[in-house]
Amino acid sequence: MIEVSNLCKTFGTKTAVDNLSFEVKKGEVLGFLGPNGAGKSTTMRMVTGYFPPTSGSISICGIDILTQPEAAKAKIGYLPESAPLYDDMTVRGFLEFAAGIRGLEKRAKDDAVEQAIETCFLNKVAHQAIDTLSKGYRHRTCLAQSLLHDPEVLILDEPTDGLDPNQKHEVRQLIKRLGETKAILFSTHILEEVDAACSRAVIVDQGKIVANGTPQSLRDEYKMDSLHDIFRKVTTADTAA
């Protein structure tokens, strides 16, 4: 449902993404891992159509996002890093606004908003102004908007950022459940999330894929029990001499 082939992105003389190829199928949750500056967010912005690639191709549910961007984006639910919100709106008001942008109307819009509020555990703050929310609730509100139109593909950039341990557990379990019927790509730098929510992981470093496999296949390949040790082995440490 997500097919990325030979994807490259350069900014001037800097190569942020260097010939990446991977796919995410329906029923699969792919964890997209890498150190800061590895090219994770840039890749996800290209996959969602926010950035045009320098070269390469991206297909969403068989639709080329470069030649048919509106049709491809209609298949995607996107939670960007540091997603913006309208602080003067209530949580419910914001979700109703976002549902309207997605073309939902009347009963369909009401049902979608109720479902998103329930799914993302927002009942307690549904009528609260967004500028009064904690960081965790703000992030969950952003996650809720990505689910409103019941997309076939979810692109989640750091979906547990700012959440407390209980909230992290809830969101990881939610991602795992949603991944049974959708194709999910989510970036993270929290390695325990790979075991908690992912069916497969891709590790990138300096814009290139340096590891790709299920958590267990990576352990078998590198003969290491710790994903932290595998991550350190395949990525270039900023602190290296």
Distances (CA, A) of 119 to 63, 148, 166: 28, 10, 15
pTM: 0.90
Question: Which architecture characterizes domain 1-75+153-158+181-236 according to CATH?
Answer: 3-Layer(aba) Sandwich (3.40)
How distant, in Å, are the alpha carbons of 6, 13, 17, 198 from that of 10?
Answer: 13, 7, 7, 29
111-137 residue pLDDT tens: 999 999 999 889 999 999 999 998 888
Q: What is the pLDDT of residues 137-159, one digit of tens each?
A: 888 899 999 999 999 999 998 88
**Rounded CA gap, 48 and 32, in Å?**
15
Domain ranges within the chain, ordered by starting residue: 1-75+153-158+181-236
206 neighbors 35 (Cβ within 8 angstroms): no
From 75, 42, 57, select the one nearest 182 (Cα to Cα).
75
Per-residue pLDDT of the chain (241 residues; tens, 9 = 90+): 999 999 999 999 999 999 999 999 999 999 999 988 899 989 999 999 999 999 999 999 999 999 999 999 999 999 987 777 999 999 999 999 999 999 999 999 999 999 999 998 899 999 999 999 988 888 889 999 999 999 999 999 888 877 788 888 888 888 999 999 999 999 988 888 888 899 999 999 999 999 999 999 999 999 999 999 999 999 975 544 4
